[in-house]
Structure 1
């Protein structure tokens, strides 16, 4: 290397086009809207049943690992910055120490895992809903494990009690994973090159 050459440094900006950034922002907004939709209190732990997980799983399944991860991180940053994008129109740092904290912390990881599975494991079979459903279920497990840890730590309950509280959300999240699979499979049929970048 000569004195005038500069070392090659990976630049995320080069990897993300304007379209990518628009998709990331759009899905962050979708997650925010989903946090208000059907916010039904379930159990006594103060964790509402919303469509957030639907939007998080959909972000990973449709956008892939990097853009899905960025969409969920942007959503969390907006809430941390004070925009009322969390369930119950809440925001701020205190949400990240409440009963729902474990679920929130694992949103990016869930989207990343689903994105990896859809892009690299399902591959060209991502137009089949069953493959995306399997990926979404893995993402759901990741999210619920984080939720259980959060419940146990924040509420100070036993592990069995935390799993019992979390159990009330499983049926709804399995249904959401199924809908994600149907929607994402159709999106990939319509836009087959969406994850080929």
Structure 2
């Protein structure tokens, strides 16, 4: 059986490959999962994605399985305890931004009915289908990620620069950036063509 061709960025690491093969680029519509992904993308700033991916279970335990209603109520004492947690990225700004982002997330849910409804408006409810021949064709940000970043910041979110927003859009399936030689490109495109 021939070996599967994957996007070059996931390399040979089994955890990275599993994430690539089952999650990355799949259209995501669950608010809890979207809050998790937005948090982890922000935590990645200045680090590699595999570093954060290896800590994901620790993040889930530390941040109440990414229930924004619970995280929004975290206190100064909770933040101090998180700074002592070796299982997460112990960066004071990233920890406090997660709590602030949970509060902003709840405000978006209250305004739009769900974060999902808010987010998918940026692509008119349909994932963008790119046709990248190789990793070198990928962009770090786009005018759309600029717009999402600007709007999130206006709503009080932090660690949501345009590059972080584009990585979030790729991961959450708002854009299909699997390279055309990757076995997941067509599979993700087929998922995206179904009614949302």
Tell whether the structures are fold-level matches, with TM greater than 0.5.
no
Given the two structures, how large is their TM-score scaled by the length of structure 2? 0.36
Higher-helix-fraction structure: 1
Given the two structures, how large is their TM-score scaled by the length of structure 1? 0.35
- Which is higher, the Rg of structure 1 or of structure 2? 1
